[in-house]
Amino acid sequence: MNQSTLSAAPPVSEYVDPEGRRFGYVHIEHPGSRGLGIHLSAFFGAWGNARVYQDFRGYFHRLRMLGEGAHHDWLFLCDPYGVTENGTYYLGEAGDLFVERAMHAIIDRVVADGGYPASEIVMLGSSMGATGALTLGLQRGVAGIVTVSPHIDLDICATRQNRYREVAFACPDGDPTATNNFDLTRRVRRELADYAARGVTPPRLFVQACRDDDGVFVEQVEPLVAAWRSAHGDAVLDARATGGHTSDWAPRALLLDVTSRMINGEPIPVARYLDDPQFAGTVTRPPLSHQVRRRLSLTRKAVYRKLGRPVQ
């Protein structure tokens, strides 16, 4: 189901996997456009318990923000499964990658319907959505991947980004930090290493992240960018000094511009994104409830470490 205007809530299409699990998705077409942007939702919090967009679970992050961009068609995906029905990092449960398979099936359906070549497809996402964008984008060999504050190594995210339960849900033995689960928790690195082993150039990569994003920037983002470049890939890093784990520096104008440039094979002007007011974001102070929850989480981690217990 498609439409070229967002004056009303876009219709949601349904995919049902072989085991009967349901997934909603939104495909928006714009007459005369070129290429396809595929956006994967991040963790969506309270939306996970709400039935929105007809009766499908989940929330289609940035749907209105990007879907009105008429230069390209759009596909919006969501992972509504997991320990709190809030996402499995687009993987699945206990080693069964049913969410990943469903995402490929939906993309296959939309690509066949719209006739989009891989050279004109860009994957986008932030946080958990960036994990899915990286994994699926590498697997499909798309033109480009746009990530904001990406979660990459899920074993690190489990302990440093308060996602222990979410990652544990996806692991066969429920241990998100075990090295025997690296094939799953470090799936992005494995997919990228396969490109290097085959001598194939990976898709273009754009990463926006903040240097003070604890457990993400130094531990995950910088190593990924270095590995991408070592594989002879084009990796652009838009590094901001402060902001933590945020999308505040990635406004609509920036995301639409970098998507168009990837589809059209044009250079990405990261210096302009940093200086031009057209692409300036606005830092949002987290609500008080979020600040309190963050402080409690840090206190709990400190106590666990002092007692020598694993951080969960």
DSSP secondary structure code for residue 171 in this structure: S
| Least confident window among 148-157, 246-255, 259-268, 280-289 | 280-289
Q: With 90 as the cut, is the pLDDT of residue 236 above it?
A: yes
Specify the pLDDT at position 50.
41
User: If pLDDT is split at 50, 70 and 90, which confidence band does 309 have?
Assistant: low
Q: With 70 as the cut, is the pLDDT of residue 53 above it?
A: no
Specify the pLDDT at position 5.
46
303 vs 206 pLDDT, higher one: 206
pLDDT above 70 covers what percent of the chain?
83
Phi, psi dihedrals of residue 109, rounded to the nearest 5°: -65, -45
| Least confident window among 5-14, 16-25, 200-209 | 5-14
CA separation for the pair 82, 135 (Å, rounded):
18
Q: With 50 as the cut, is the pLDDT of residue 288 above it?
A: no
Residue 273: strand pairing partners = none
Mean pLDDT for 48-52 is 42
The angle formed by the CA atoms of residues 259, 43 and 225, to the nearest 5 degrees, is: 50
Mean pLDDT for 97-123 is 98
CA separation for the pair 309, 58 (Å, rounded):
34
End-to-end CA distance of the chain: 41
User: If pLDDT is split at 50, 70 and 90, which confidence band does 182 have?
Assistant: very high
Phi, psi dihedrals of residue 200, rounded to the nearest 5°: -105, 135
pLDDT above 90 covers what percent of the chain?
78
Q: With 50 as the cut, is the pLDDT of residue 52 above it?
A: no
Pick the closest to residue 71 from 37, 109, 41, 25 (CA basis). Answer: 37
Specify the pLDDT at position 234.
98
Pairing, β 36-40 against β 51-52: unpaired
Mean pLDDT for 32-53 is 74
Q: With 60 as the cut, is the pLDDT of residue 57 above it?
A: no
307 vs 275 pLDDT, higher one: 275
Q: With 60 as the cut, is the pLDDT of residue 188 above it?
A: yes
User: If pLDDT is split at 50, 70 and 90, which confidence band does 302 have?
Assistant: low
What DSSP line would sit under 115-177, residue for residue?
Answer: T--GGGEEEEEETHHHHHHHHHHHHHT-SEEEEES----HHHHHHHSS-HHHHHHHSTTS-TT
126 vs 312 pLDDT, higher one: 126
Specify the pLDDT at position 290.
43
Q: With 60 as the cut, is the pLDDT of residue 253 above it?
A: yes
Q: With 50 as the cut, is the pLDDT of residue 293 above it?
A: no
What number of H helices and E strands is found in the chain?
11, 10
Kindly list the strands in the beta sheet with 13-16, ordered across the sheet, starting from the edge strand earlier in the chain: 13-16, 22-28, 73-77, 36-40, 121-126, 144-148, 204-210, 235-240
Residue 206: strand pairing partners = 146, 236
Mean pLDDT for 57-67 is 84
Give me the chain's average pLDDT, please: 88
The angle formed by the CA atoms of residues 276, 282 and 284, to the nearest 5 degrees, is: 165
Phi, psi dihedrals of residue 161, rounded to the nearest 5°: -125, 25
